[in-house]
Amino acid sequence: MAQTRWWQRGIFYQVYPRSFQDSNADGIGDLDGIRARLDHLVTLGVDAVWISPIFPSPMADFGYDVADYCGIDPMFGDLDAFDRLVAEVHGRGLKIVLDFVPNHTSDQHPWFAESRAARDNPKRDWYIWRDPAPDGGPPNNWMSNFGGPAWSLDAATGQYYYHAFLKEQPDLNWRNPAVRAAMHDVLRFWMARGVDGFRVDVIWHLMKDAEFRDNPPNPEYAPGDGDIRRFLQTRSTDQPDVHDIIAELRAVIDEYEDRVLIGEIYLPIDRLVAYYGENLEGAHLPFNFQLIHASWTAPQLAALIAEYDAAVPEGGWPNWVLGNHDQPRIASRIGAARTRVAAMLLLTLRGTPTLYYGDEIGMENVPIPTQEAQDPWEKNEPGLGLGRDPERTPMQWDASPHAGFTNGRPWLPLAADFATRNVAVQMQQPTSLLNLYRDLIALRRAHPVLHAGTYRKITALGDVLVFLRESAAECVLVALNLAGNAQEDIPLPPGTLGQVLLSTEPGRAERVEGHLSLRPYEGVIVALDARG
């Protein structure tokens, strides 16, 4: 355990830069704002800040439509502001990870301007162009993740270009060696500026079926699911040769000392773990989103944890996530009462956890009036509840106007409860969710078994999940009550005595013998010793 690397020992914290802190009163967060709030990350105890896209962009998809991979959008600052941020991040003992969006660019990227200029342009093959179907329509049935066909006709050249997301986000052709070389140089550009790693957006999309065959119908599709679920994306994503592409990315990352490659992958566990690479030459951390989509019952959580833990290849490193900028907030998914137990679960499972900004204070989804919706997905498929604005609202720092986020008009509305649910208030409350996160992170750092020890399920009966974290030096039991009623007589392992190290509820530090009792929605961490 002493030989684990920083991204194995550490905790990542995702910042959505538009919503973290505004420094110039335009209502949109920026790099200087992030820099001004680094003390919060240090006090919280996390180890690395992951920043969603900050590159020059027309903002059709809020930065995931990149127009220049080697610059900073003026909305967020400039390269000097970025360098200052990197210096201060490192000066505080933290790491910095950038979002890398290699699947697609903006349609305003100079590469695409050249590509669409003519069929014989040298950069034509940098993107995915196909002739129309015999009826003049799209080349196949692939659908956009944001609604409608994933093909748009370029009238000037008579061909369709492919875009897995918005029509303003044409997909790059990763079968072209020149594309790969250009993107490898992008990684080198940022690592030379001190970036410690990358979270790679939709990494499982990078390669498509070489024959562009139709996707099969989805037998589970139901009206209201959104267009993307009409078909199973077996041809447009997760192709076998994507792993060669990822191995090349990893090789570039490995040119620099102690960097990390994280992949965004929404796939079942058996396909997810393939992204570690056959010989662990893939992503260091293929993002594991199982807790985001889980049904929060003890038996189902126990089953998915065990399945994932067993599936991680030997030498691979697990990771866990409760929320991100694309998913409803954890407090809204499982209810505020369970957020304390969820925090304890996240920070006691084997592997690397990632926190989403605001989850440490229990921020919830904020209802966004239709006329104020910003997310293009919501605008393209209105009324289906697919928009992501509710989980991207400004960070709630204090009770001042606009929650201390801005002196201007926030780009998205604030939560109605910001005056009482904010960092400043919770810092003064010993039993707040924020202070529970701080205590959990400190305990995790003090007890390496909590990040690197083995995982062993003890029981998952009814509403209680109990598991052990074990190493040669320590044995820790975690018991989580997911229900609103007390749970009695939860047995300790035979032949052991326990000392409560931390509870999600105040006032517990007792020795325990034989069995535990849990209050409603309580979780406890217990150090175990052999009796006698």
Name the active-site residue from 22, 196, 201, 381.
Answer: 201
Query: Cα separation of 290 and 312, whole Å?
Result: 13
Name the active-site residue from 255, 258, 278, 307.
Answer: 255
In Å, how far from its chain's centre is CA 199? 8
Query: Cα separation of 287 and 320, whole Å?
Result: 7
Count other Cβ atoms within 10 Å, centred on residue 33: 24
HSE-CB for 176 with a 13 A CA cutoff: 17
Query: Cα separation of 493 and 395, whole Å?
Result: 42
| Angle, helix 339-346 to helix 433-446, in steps of 10 degrees | 20
- 490: its two tokens: 């939860």
**Ordered DSSP codes for 54-86:** -S----TTTTSS-S-TTS--TTT--HHHHHHHH
**Smallest Cα–Cα separation from 323: which of 289, 299, 296?**
289
289: which DSSP letter?
Answer: -
Q: Catalytic: 201?
A: yes
234-239, Cβ contacts within 8 angstroms, sequence gap of 24 or more: 235/140, 235/142, 235/208, 235/209, 236/142, 236/150, 236/164, 236/205, 236/208, 236/209, 237/164, 237/204, 237/205, 237/208, 238/204, 238/267, 238/271, 239/207, 239/208, 239/209
**Structure-derived torsion over alpha carbons of residues 359, 363, 364, 365, reported in degrees to the nearest 10:** -90
Instruction: Mark out the alpha helices in 358-494 (DSSP H runs).
Output: 376-380, 423-427, 433-446, 449-452
Query: Cα separation of 216 and 232, whole Å?
Result: 6
- 266: its two tokens: 């929404």
Place of tokens 């866990």: 320
> Residues with catalytic annotation?
201, 255
